[in-house]
Amino acid sequence: MNQSYRTRKSMFKKRITDYFKSVKGEFHLEPKLDKDGRELPGVTQKVWDREPAKITVAGLALALGFNSLDDFDNYLKNGEFAKTLQWGQLHIIADYEQKLQGPAATVFALKLMGVHEREPLNTQDDAENNRLIVEILESGPKPAGTEKEVIL
């Protein structure tokens, strides 16, 4: 590995980490005021200069300069720094997992681990054996064709 490759890889990773830092937003602390507008001693509050944003794959793609999610996906598969980009994508997945709760989170996590819904146990041959055959049996007298055939 030459120095130029390592430098480019390091710069690419820095752009990814800069994206994650940027979505956290920026704030400063100000003294908190009471209802009369006087400072409360020793009490501060956060004032956002730039509101936090949600971490997204599209946001990462834009921050890295991709023109489309297709370009992003292609780079994930074939790009020079694909492993580094996969590392960035893994951070997004970890963030999603932390925010999900309940059954949806469990399904999401299991699918990420490669566990998919169960395949049906039936094979094609079994499908043929599961056909329902209906046989109509005649019982009792045949219906009358006309009124004259009815005997009381």
**Cα distance between residue 81 and residue 13, in whole Å:** 9
Classify domain 3-117 at the CATH topology level: Topoisomerase I; Chain A, domain 4 (1.10.132)
Q: How confident is the model at residue 25 (pLDDT cuts 50, 70, 90)?
A: very high
How many CB atoms are closer than 10 A to CB 19?
A: 21
Measure CA 40 to chain center: 44
Give the domain ranges of the chain.
3-117
pLDDT, tens digit (0-9, with 9 covering 90-100), for 118-151: 665 555 565 566 777 777 777 777 777 888 887 7
Residues sharing a CB contact under 8 Å with residue 72, sequence separation 6 or more, in sequence order: 57, 60, 61, 64, 66, 85
Q: What value does the mean pLDDT take over residues 34-58? A: 90
